[in-house]
A and B are shown apart, each in its own frame.
Chain A
Amino acid sequence: MPQTVPAVTAHLALSHVRFAHARATGGSKAEGEARQILDDADLEVRRGDFVLLTGPSGAGKSTLLRLFCRLEEPQEGQVLLNGQPVSTLPPAGLRRRVSYLQQTPTVSAGSVRQNLLLPFTFKAAANEPKPSDAELAALLGSLAAGDIPLDQEASTLSVGQRQRLCLARALLTRPEALLLDEPTSALDPDSASAVLTAAESFCLDSGGTVLLVSHADFTPTRVSPVHYRLEGGRLAWMRA
């Protein structure tokens, strides 16, 4: 059942969004074909919702998440945060409010501590106090990653540890919403469970909104997700 006009109270919303990947210039013929990803798509997510987004590979699930943090721009329609078009918000501030976690966890050069404190080195965080080592360790502990020393080089971590580090780093920016792009696709079961538990806690304990893209079957244990399926450029609400 597709949604229509978003209510002003929706936390995250799409209104009549059309998106096609730009036609490549000078690329191969295959790349040159513009592909319609979202076709008059509507979505309404209330604050505190845990949204599960599924759909076939290439349907545009990642694109949909990336629209909310302006890593993609729609050709038509509006992307809204608390009723405000995201295009009217300062981009750095928007991306700290709506935190997007990349599918492949990316760490920067340096230690685990330097990675966790990275968001505090930017101008957008000029007035925010840096968390202490104890706070960082406690946060890692809550993600079942308390055994990772803060001095360890981040590049030496396993994929599962990196994903938990990236999630911890995203949580440190105190976002209102987490956009998780297949966060467990490359993880071992323990790491996957830690990441999903943290996402559920973010929703239940902090009142945050979660948009989780997954093409595997995933059943949250503590929250009742709102399930949408993206196919053919449109979103369909799936009954529980």
Chain B
Amino acid sequence: MDAGVISIAPWRLLLALVFTLLAGGCSLALKLGLGRDILIGTVRTFAQLFLMGWVLGFVFAVDSPWLVLALFLVMAAAAAHTARGRVKESAVSFAWPMYGSMAAVYLLITVTVTGGIVHAEPWWKPQYFLPIGGMVLGNSMNSVAVALDRLFSDLRARASVVEMQLCLGADAAEASADMTRAAVRAGMIPSINSMMAVGLVSIPGMMTGQILGGSDPTQAIRYQIVVMLMLVGATALGSTVLTLLIRRRCFGPGDRPLLR
């Protein structure tokens, strides 16, 4: 697949620093105070991506399903950790269900794509499994954070409505049904919207990579279509499972609301 790839020589890679120097120049000229962030960001970009390239190269060489799964779980834990950090709520503990269900749900989606649709042989072939798994995790991490943030803020803002319905004989699920729906919707909408815009505004990432790698664009779009549909499914399943699981934790014994 990489027959058409033009290799970037190390000194040419350093040439790309011209762009960050340009950004640094803007920061200096306009006194934006972004110089430090640009410097750290540049160093991190180099360090993190070189590390990732090295790790991926190692995993590809070892070619073991256990190593692939272990790396996927580490990526899932990092995604869950990032999503958790974005949700500010201390009255409900949701870390473990979040780690567990994100790993399970996104593993299922990734296996379905690599094994069932792309038909990689074997299904865990790291060249397919890890990039696809990474895309699923990266996108779904945002949707899960949005959904949970919405769930918690709605349950707090509309606590009197939840309580009113409980007092009329609703159980916790019935009393919070509106807030649950709104949360899952909020988590799903960005990936649905991106289906509307794809191909109109920019060439999406995976397709760009394949085209740069020398693939036939008509072949590249097939991958991109799979990716778009996969992300809609992943954000839907992830938001739904996480919201339902964590919604239960917003109520104590006797369906007593904990957020108010």
Contacts and interface: CB of A to CB of B under 8 A. Distances in A.
B65 interface: no
Given A70-B254, A73-B252, A122-B174, A93 B168 contact: no
B256 A122 contact: no
B256 A92 contact: no
A92 B170 contact: yes
A170 interface: yes
Interface stretch (A1-9, A53-61, A95-103, A200-208): A95-103
A106 B90 contact: no
B171 A106 contact: no
B91 interface: yes
B171 A118 contact: no
A122 B161 contact: no
Nearest to B175: A122
A129 B180 CA distance: 28
Given A25-B90, A25-B91, A106-B161, A95 B166 contact: yes
Interface in B150-179: 160-161, 163-171, 174
Interface string B60-86: 000000000000000000000000000
A124 B169 contact: yes
Nearest to B91: A25
Given A25-B90, A87-B253, A87-B254, A92 B171 contact: yes
Nearest to B159: A106
A125 B169 contact: yes
A224 interface: no
Interface string B200-227: 0000000000000000000000000000
A108 B76 CA distance: 39
B90 A169 contact: no
Interface in A61-98: 69-73, 86-87, 91-96
A189 interface: no
A95 B168 contact: yes
Given A71-B256, A73-B254, A123-B174, A173 B166 contact: no
B253 A124 contact: no
B258 to A, nearest CB: 9
A50 B257 CA distance: 28
Interface string B23-54: 00000000000000000000000000000000
B257 to A, nearest CB: 8
A104 interface: yes
A124 B90 contact: no
B55 to A, nearest CB: 36
A93 B254 CA distance: 11
A233 interface: no
A166 B164 CA distance: 9
A177 B49 CA distance: 66
A155 B40 CA distance: 53
In this complex, the member of B91, B169, B254, B255 whose beta carbon has the largest number of chain A beta carbons within 10 angstroms is B169
Contacts of B165: 108, 118, 122
A119 interface: yes
A138 to B, nearest CB: 20
A95 B256 contact: no
B174 to A, nearest CB: 5
Given A25-B90, A25-B91, A100 B256 contact: no
B254 A119 contact: no
Nearest to B252: A73
A108 B168 CA distance: 12
Contacts of A169: 168
A173 B160 contact: no
Contacts of A92: 166, 169-171, 255
B90 A26 contact: yes
Contacts of B255: 70, 91-92
B91 A122 contact: no
Contacts of B256: 70-73
Contact of B167 (A72, A93, A123, A170): A170
A119 B169 contact: yes
Nearest to B253: A73
B159 to A, nearest CB: 10
Contacts of B160: 102, 104, 106
B253 A93 contact: no
18 contacts: A26-B90, A71-B163, A71-B166, A71-B257, A72-B256, A73-B254, A86-B254, A92-B166, A96-B169, A99-B167, A102-B164, A104-B160, A106-B161, A106-B164, A108-B165, A122-B171, A123-B174, A124-B169
Given A102-B167, A106-B163, 5 more contacts: A71-B166, A92-B166, A95-B166, A119-B168, A122-B171
